[in-house]
Every structure is written in structure tokens, then in C-alpha cells.
């Protein structure tokens, strides 16, 4: 495991987010095999791949939630595992499927995260109010998160990642369970974030969404990067959906059975 200051081979200097040869095994089975990834500043980066490809595992290792067996991860040059506090101060994280402190109200949760980030109380309170308002949660700000719908939970999780004005946003499936109206709000927020100089790394398995939002894409299959580059480079003259199926090697064969489903 290299912890030194040399950038990963092929990495652009000053990348916002870079992983270098990340490896992770669970119960003796390697699921991420020396994965390297570099995201330039100011990108809207989409990480796509089939279920079980290692997207969440990779993002967890890059955000300091899961220790890699080998390899390094950097946020704007700060090593996530050698200097975690510097790296964590620069990024906002919203993992998928990891519960929040459900017994706090939405407002309390955001102010809590603000306090954990050592923000002045007045600033945290003001940003909390603004975020709740923009995300359409103002009416439910005093309701405990346990009573939120899945889409509302996604939105409040995004707000917890945004409250300290990070430079890099790492979002796992940010649009899952979100209704179209809120989805549009989130898209607008993310675009603004990137226009303001921020970098977004998001995973998704909805190709149309990535195609419409991201400028750079990486396809992960079986714990390896199968293809990466700008959206145009990657898809060529096809749609991202078609290109993705090609890369993954999927086909329609195998669903010929199930005749008993016909009613």
C-alpha cells in the first residue's frame, strides 16, 4: 500500500478524486481488483455498473467508510487513509442504503451534522433552513426522519452531504426512490454545485439519467473499470444504454422460461 506523495500513474495532476489500485476482499473472495479511477475537478462524474459490480464498495473505500486491503484514495490530493480529517473536510458523502439517525427530526439531523463539522451554530441553522426549503422538506422539518418516505430520506441525506459546502460530493444512487419533481431539484442543485467549481461523483444504474446529467462516465464490471472517459468518448454513436449492455456482455437469452407467468 503506497501512502506517499507520488500521484497514481496516469492520473492528472490536481484531480478532485482519485483511486489508485484499490483492492477489497470479503470472506476471502476478492470483489474489487486493483481499481484505479481519476476524476478531474469540475466534473459531473457517473459511475455505472450492474448490481454487485463493486460500485458501493469502491465509493465506501474512497470516502473512508471501508478500509481497503490495498491501494490509496485521494480527495483533492488529501489521502483519505493517511490524512482522513483533511480528506473528510473536503467532501460530502451520501451512501446508499445506510440509515441515518432516525430519531432526530430533519432539522435536528442537519444541525447535528453541522455541529459535527464544527460549523458555527447560526450558520448551520441558516443553511439547514435553506436546504430544507430548496429540497421541499420545510413542511416536514420537525418530523423525525424515521417517518420520512424513501425519497425524503434520499433528499435529507443529500442535504447532510451539502451542509458544510464541500468541494467534492460523493453520492451513491442519489436518485433512487426520488420522484421526478424532486429529481429535477436535485439535478439543478448538482449542476449548480459543479458550475460553482465543485466535483460530483455519483453512482447509478439508470443509464438515461447518467447520460442526461454527467459529462464523464466510468463503467465498472466485476470490480474492475471496464471503460472510462468523457460521455462522448464512451458511447460513440450509440446510446449509453446500448454501449453499457455491450460492455457488460448482457443479452436477452435466459428469460425464455417462466411461461407460468402468462395469465
Task: Quickly count: other Cβ atoms within 10 Å of residue 27's Cβ.
Answer: 5
Q: Is residue 102 a contact residue for another protein (CB under 8 A)?
A: yes
Specify the residue, 68 or 216, whose C-beta has the smaller distance to another protein.
68
Q: Is residue 71 a contact residue for another protein (CB under 8 A)?
A: no
Q: Please pick, from the candidates 34, 42, 84, 183, the single residue that binds another protein as defined by CB under 8 A.
A: 84
Q: How far is the CB of 205 from another protein (least distance, A)?
A: 22
Please state the three-class secondary structure of 194-243 as a single string.
Answer: HHCCCEEEEEECCHHHHHHHCCEEEEEECCEEEEEEEHHHHHCCCCHHHH
Beta strands 199-204 and 168-172 are parallel
Q: Is residue 101 a contact residue for another protein (CB under 8 A)?
A: yes
Q: How far is the CB of 118 from another protein (least distance, A)?
A: 6
Convert residues 174-213 into a mask of x (bound to another protein by CB under 8 A) and - (unbound).
Answer: ----------------------------------------
- The DSSP line for 151-179 is HHHHHHHHHHHHTT--SEEEEESTTTT--
Q: Is residue 245 a contact residue for another protein (CB under 8 A)?
A: no
**Residue 25: strand pairing partners:** 30
Q: Is residue 88 a contact residue for another protein (CB under 8 A)?
A: yes
Tell me the Cα Rg of the chain: 19
Q: How far is the CB of 108 from another protein (least distance, A)?
A: 7
Q: How many angstroms separate the CA atoms of 220 and 52, rounded?
A: 10
- Site residues for another protein per CB under 8 A: 63-67, 84-85, 88-89, 93, 95, 98-105, 107-108, 111-113, 115-118, 120-121, 142-144, 146-147, 160
Amino acid at each position: 500500500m503506497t501512502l506517499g506523495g507520488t500521484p497514481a500513474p496516469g492520473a492528472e495532476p490536481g484531480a478532485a478524486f482519485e483511486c489508485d489500485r484499490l483492492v477489497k476482499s470479503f470472506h476471502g473472495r476478492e470483489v474489487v481488483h486493483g481499481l484505479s479511477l481519476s476524476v478531474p475537478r469540475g466534473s459531473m462524474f457517473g459511475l455505472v455498473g450492474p448490481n454487485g459490480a463493486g460500485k458501493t464498495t469502491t465509493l465506501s473505500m474512497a470516502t473512508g467508510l471501508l478500509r481497503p486491503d490495498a491501494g490509496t484514495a485521494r480527495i483533492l490530493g488529501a489521502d483519505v487513509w493517511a490524512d482522513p480529517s483533511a480528506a473528510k473536510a473536503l467532501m460530502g458523502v451520501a451512501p446508499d442504503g445506510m440509515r441515518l439517525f432516525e430519531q432526530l427530526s430533519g432539522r435536528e439531523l442537519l444541525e447535528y451534522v453541522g455541529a459535527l463539522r464544527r460549523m458555527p451554530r447560526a450558520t448551520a441553522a441558516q443553511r439547514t433552513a435553506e436546504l430544507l426549503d430548496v429540497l421541499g422538506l420545510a413542511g416536514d422539518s420537525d418530523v423525525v426522519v424515521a417517518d420520512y418516505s424513501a425519497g425524503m430520506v434520499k433528499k435529507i441525506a443529500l442535504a447532510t452531504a451539502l451542509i458544510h459546502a464541500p468541494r467534492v460530493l460523493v453520492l451513491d444512487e442519489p436518485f433512487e426512490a426520488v420522484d421526478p419533481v424532486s429529481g429535477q431539484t436535485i439535478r439543478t442543485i448538482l449542476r449548480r454545485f459543479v458550475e460553482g467549481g465543485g466535483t460530483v461523483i455519483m453512482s447509478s444504474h439508470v443509464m438515461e439519467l447518467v447520460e442526461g446529467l454527467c459529462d464523464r462516465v466510468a463503467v465498472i464490471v466485476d470490480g474492475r473499470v471496464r471503460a472510462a472517459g468523457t460521455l462522448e468518448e464512451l458511447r460513440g454513436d450509440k446510446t449509453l444504454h446500448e454501449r453499457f449492455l455491450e460492455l457488460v456482455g448482457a443479452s436477452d437469452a435466459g428469460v425464455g422460461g417462466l411461461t407460468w407467468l402468462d395469465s
